Amino acid sequence: MSLRLNVIVASTRPGRVGPSVANWFKAYAAEKSPFDVHLVDLAEFDLPVYDEPKHPRMQDYQNDHTKKWSESVAAADAFVFVTPEYNYHPTPALVNALTYVSKEWGYKPASFVSYGGVSGGTRAVDQTRTWFPVMKMMAVPEQVMCPMVFDQIKDGVFEPNKLQVESADLMLSELHRWAEALKPLRG
């Protein structure tokens, strides 16, 4: 059975450009990688600010929104977060979604398609990676960066350049190797 890659849209605000970038990456990954690729939009999960009474490691969730999010994360073998940076930091939606569950992230590799102004969202990526060890996630260093993303979106469609396509190839290949290698640990 194919390993499952969840491509997670990490911005949720009205008018966001995240889905344009994510739609390109999802289609590219589905065509070029062996993964079974799924688009996961945090906006659709509509998670409130963390509201579970118990530590997520206990997995004793009280709320339907948490149970639904837990199922989505648990089903994946690898993750790609499609994310901008807000004030040099990860989006509140991404921080919240990472916090909601714990074990479900474990022994799975993850990377990023980041975008924004001159920095291409990389400052948020660097910060988000520091969270991964506590969730037992493997931070794959290969990533895709999209500085000045607005110049690459026409009528809602993101047009990647050569470097971004090459970066996507490398990242997908490494993600898949790690996802295979960590399979015995996922049980």
**Among the residue ranges 40-48, 50-58, 94-102, 116-124, the one whose residues contact ligand FMN (CB under 6 A):** 116-124
Out of 117, 133, 166, 185, the only residue in the binding site for ligand FMN (CB under 6 A) is 117
End-to-end CA distance of the chain: 15
Residues 12-31 that bind ligand FMN (CB under 6 A): 13, 16-18
Number of residues that bind ligand FMN (CB under 6 A): 13
**Among the residue ranges 42-50, 83-91, 129-137, 177-185, the one whose residues contact ligand FMN (CB under 6 A):** 83-91
Residue 126: C-alpha distances to residues 45, 55, 85 (Å):
25, 25, 10
Out of 5, 7, 11, 176, the only residue in the binding site for ligand FMN (CB under 6 A) is 11
Closest to ligand FMN by CB, 3 vs 149, is 149
Dig out the tokens for 62 from the structure.
């009280």
**Among the residue ranges 43-51, 86-94, 104-112, 175-183, the one whose residues contact ligand FMN (CB under 6 A):** 86-94
User: What are the helix (H) ranges across the chain?
Assistant: 18-32, 42-45, 64-75, 92-100, 122-129, 132-135, 162-181, 183-186
Rounded to the nearest whole angstrom, what is the least distance from the CB of residue 76 to ligand FMN in the complex?
21
Taking the C-alpha atoms of residue 171 and residue 165, their distance in angstroms, rounded to an integer, is: 10
Q: Is 40 exposed, middle or buried (0-12, 13-18, 19+ CB in 10 A)?
A: buried
**Among the residue ranges 39-47, 84-92, 94-102, 129-137, the one whose residues contact ligand FMN (CB under 6 A):** 84-92
Residue 26: C-alpha distances to residues 21, 87, 102, 167 (Å):
9, 26, 25, 14
DSSP 61: -
- Contact between 131 and ligand FMN by CB under 6 A: the answer reads no
Closest to ligand FMN by CB, 3 vs 7, is 7
- One character per residue 88-107, x = contact with ligand FMN (rule: CB under 6 A): x-------------------
Residues that bind ligand FMN (CB under 6 A): 11, 13, 16-18, 84-88, 116-117, 119
